[in-house]
Chains A and B, each alone.
Chain A
């Protein structure tokens, strides 16, 4: 867990908010505790801006006139907020770590600079500490010092120091050592006064839970206080980053041209390949590798400039702690901050545009998501605990093992039922006519393939290879010939489609407090290039299915309504009750009906209904994988 405490000195300006956002992104913060917002209220987009597109939940205390104001934000993917307490000079948020279940308070503190108010402020903090039994992590601008060493010049008021030290010892709070700048505030004058006004205190319980925590200051930019970052030290596992094609990249200059050139280049590099699937795979893999690097580099270029500027400011600040800065050095420092501000503003524009186009493109379908996002609420679908027959399972790796085992078993080989349909099982009306057979296996037209691509749903998610519908629709001209070659090979039965057939299953809770695996609905996302094949087969099968699938099935088929059956059932029950007839109604629930379909039986059914052998082979190769089949 990483949290930033920072006296930001005003969040009214967009530049300051963008500084917060930069810290959130750069440090991958889980919480931010800001003091002196000097703002009475926040609107959604301001909060969203600071969250850098992450899911934060915010609480704040308005400023009193032109001073004070507190804002705390918690990213809710790992931390869950259980309680929020708003007091005059602090915000306390009770969080629970979703994986480890550890609960503690994060207290964001701002002590008034008017020292007449200091006793009251300490009293408020004391009564909170007295009341609470859970671990406490407290940080911010206390506007108090503990000893004269907390100032670079002059002396502190003994009475105030005693007050502060008394509070710390009464509740046995530990001060977390902060590396970096010795003083957290500077009046930024030529002969500056510097004071350690900001600090982090933790209760004994908190420290014993996070014994390896550490904190450091970041460069004093924007505000006259340094931001302080605290890392709780629990080995925050780095989450792997998967490749994901972003539609927003098309906004970049010449991006489309780059893809076109690269695709051609990769094809040339791979001249030895003659098999359509090898060519396709080569291009896709290289493009993926290239885009990954390209994305990192374009983000990195700007980051490097920023790092250099920030580094120089930090150097100047540490010089200032030991000697006076020259006029030239001061001017340089001001200039450096100006440059950083300009970069931040242009970055901000980019983010805004990007977010904007996303909403517009996805339109109304996305408005529900948008509102959830804007409200800072997040669907709580992080899986932190699972109950199995053997008890509770905790920990990311253990949960993965449990879920994988479940699905391996579910999709594992099944016993043969031995069920064989007799030769004349199917009545004639369930069988295919000669015309239907011919239409199913006719040649794949170029236009037919194009139509499949163009009808892809824009905002559906990509499969494991990361290329979503956006890529396929916009780059059709680039890859069309190579895709069509694969379709031609598929028609001949020469395409090992198994090599495209990859999916990733994501679990979505069916109910609020889902804790067993059956309470999650598995959503399978398949690679879009694979789906093109089965979509084309579906397009051909639909008109046939309408004729040869029994009238008694009401699900899925175009022109029949799933509710038709429900309606009939309702009528029957009503009539039974009315006429007082006796009858038996059986409701058979196919548990995981889809997942249990037996492939051999499916093949038998298609044979029985008279599907062409070539068609059956196509379908079975998408379902069962299958190698290439042998032509005689």
Chain B
């Protein structure tokens, strides 16, 4: 079984905005992960992982060097506290 990929369609999910109890019309989104979607945090981690690997490669090749490479080997990505509350 093989997948040929799928027909790309216009936009992902639809959202509307609630302002003081009144909702706007729905419109399509074209990028971004949605807060409130349980899957979003992990998908974000996957994407951010690429940045971690890039930095690690730069270290390996000697392009950059950790300030205390003897103490803290490798790369740390720290994410804003705010985001954890959104999940």
Contact = CB atoms under 8 A, between A and B. Distances in A.
B62 interface: no
Interface residues of B, number: 70
B20 A594 contact: no
Interface in B23-58: 23-50, 52-53, 56
Given A553-B52, A626-B8, A609 B46 contact: yes
B39 A400 contact: no
A45 interface: no
Interface of A: 239-240, 242, 382-383, 396, 399-400, 403-404, 407-408, 410-414, 421, 425-427, 430, 464, 493, 498, 501-507, 521-526, 530-531, 534-535, 537-538, 541-542, 545, 549-557, 562, 565-566, 568-569, 571-572, 575-576, 581, 583-585, 589-590, 592-599, 601-602, 605-606, 609, 613-614, 617, 619-632
A626 B6 CA distance: 7
Contacts of A240: 22-23
Given A553-B52, A619-B39, A629 B47 contact: no
A524 B36 contact: yes
B14 A556 contact: no
Interface in B62-86: 67-68, 71-72, 74-84, 86
- The winner among A507, A534, A537, A581 for most chain B CB atoms within 10 A is A534
Given A534-B39, A553-B45, A596-B31, A504 B23 contact: yes
Given A553-B48, A613-B3, 17 more contacts: A383-B20, A403-B24, A501-B12, A503-B16, A537-B39, A556-B44, A556-B87, A571-B71, A572-B71, A594-B32, A594-B44, A595-B32, A605-B47, A622-B39, A625-B10, A625-B28, A627-B8
Interface of B: 1-50, 52-53, 56, 67-68, 71-72, 74-84, 86-87
Q: What 8 pairs between A and B have smallest CB-CB spacing?
A: A629-B6, A583-B67, A501-B13, A565-B78, A595-B32, A411-B29, A524-B36, A534-B39
Contacts of A549: 45-46, 49
A430 B48 CA distance: 13
A238 to B, nearest CB: 10
A572 B72 contact: yes
5 contacts: A383-B19, A531-B37, A545-B42, A596-B32, A597-B47
B35 A575 contact: no
A79 to B, nearest CB: 14
Given A410-B32, A504-B16, A602-B46, A556 B81 contact: no
Contacts of B16: 464, 502-505
Contact of B75 (A552, A576, A590): A552
